[in-house]
Amino acid sequence: MEPLPRELVIGAWGAFGLVVGSFLNVVIHRLPLADESVLRPLRSRCPNCRHELGALENIPLLSWLFLRGRCRACRWPIPLRYPLVELINAVLWALAGGLSGRLELALIHAVVLSGLVVASAVDFDRFEIPDEVSIGGIFLAPACALLVPALHLETWVARRMSEGGGVDRLGALMGAIAGIAVGGGSLLFVGWLGKKLFRRDAMGLGDVKLLAAGGGFAGPGAALVALFLGSMIASVVGAANLLRFFCLSRARVRARRSVKPLGRSLASARIAGRYLPFGPYLGIGIGIVLLAWKDVARLVNELAF
């Protein structure tokens, strides 16, 4: 029997990721709520009027377009985040199916990427990362390493701790544990150093736990690279955010025809731009090394040596 065309396989992964993305929207909305759970109530409903959604209102992407971004019952504007989460998750699942090589690896990577989507969305909304994602990932990573040792095929610790030429279950487990320790430990050190230098908390524990979980799946070296990539992306976004608040401050000064020194506008922009969640950018770094660690490691090696 001939294997299915690669394009068809990637398309199937993307379609399934689209459906999973619809469920992720429920998870993102309900996880921070005290009076609801992911499974209670069973039917999806409008957060504004509690209207239970019918089948035609639950079609990923298409329902949002057909409803023109509004609840059919109360006309509440449905945030753009809903179709974006579905689309992003579909793309990530397609990448996992196309790049991971093996079915079991693709499935693990896809689930981890979906967890990163949830963590990023909640962090954007509430400046917190759900323990269900981060701590759950910390416990899930060693279990996945035991079941699928190939998860840490590129992890140096796993190869050194394994017997023979490949990676065995014990080696993969040690690779996962090392990744958790290095991922969480590196951010704890960064937070400690930042507090010493700036006299304020520089890193939330949610970020620490998220990178620990990511290290458990990607390995210690990949965790450090993920931290570097996330920091670089966050720096660029932070600079753009600072510039945006500065321009808004100067526009307000001009509109009021008042006199305000540039230094005060810059200080105001720095205060406003300080509140930037790090989890989403850390998640991007974890996703990159998880899907393309070979290419990232090769690039780092070329740049360093």
What are the DSSP calls for 155-220, one per residue? -HHHHHHSSSSS--HHHHHHHHHHHHHHHHHHHHHHHHHHHHHHSS--S-HHHHHHHHHHHHHH-H
Residue (of 158, 157, 233, 220) closest to 187 by Cα position? 220
Residue 195 pLDDT: 77
- Residue 172 lies inside a defined structural domain of this protein: no
pLDDT tens-place string over residues 39-85:
777 788 888 888 888 888 888 999 999 988 998 889 989 899 999 99
Residue (of 190, 209, 206) closest to 128 by Cα position? 206
Residue 215 is encoded by which pair of tokens? 């290290």
Residue (of 147, 205, 199, 154) closest to 179 by Cα position? 154
- Residue 23 lies inside a defined structural domain of this protein: yes
Residue (of 42, 231, 111, 237) closest to 103 by Cα position? 111
Task: Report pTM.
Answer: 0.89
How far apart (Å, rounded) are the C-alpha atoms in residues 63 and 5?
30
Q: How many separate domains does the chain show?
A: 1
Range of the domain at 30: 1-129
Instruction: Tell whether omega for the bond before 280 is within 30 degrees of 0, i.e. cis.
Output: no
Residue 230 pLDDT: 93
Q: Cα torsion at 38, 40, 44, 49 (round to 10°)?
A: -120
- For the chain, the first-to-last Cα distance in angstroms comes to 46
Residue 130 pLDDT: 92
Residue (of 101, 109, 89, 98) closest to 11 by Cα position? 98
Residue type, 183: G
Please, what are the averages of pLDDT over each run of 10 residues along the chain (305 residues)? 77 94 92 80 82 85 90 90 95 88 91 96 91 95 95 90 86 96 92 76 83 95 93 88 76 71 68 77 94 66 56
Residue type, 212: A
Residue 255 pLDDT: 76
- Residue 217 lies inside a defined structural domain of this protein: no
- What phi and psi, each to the nearest 5 degrees, are found at residue 33? -85, 140
How far apart (Å, rounded) are the C-alpha atoms in residues 268 and 122?
26
- Residue 207 lies inside a defined structural domain of this protein: no
Q: Tell me the angle at which helices 103-126 and 6-30 cross, rounded to the nearest 10 degrees.
A: 30
- Residue 90 lies inside a defined structural domain of this protein: yes
- Residue 95 lies inside a defined structural domain of this protein: yes
Residue 44 is encoded by which pair of tokens? 């999806």
- Residue 189 lies inside a defined structural domain of this protein: no
- Residue 36 lies inside a defined structural domain of this protein: yes
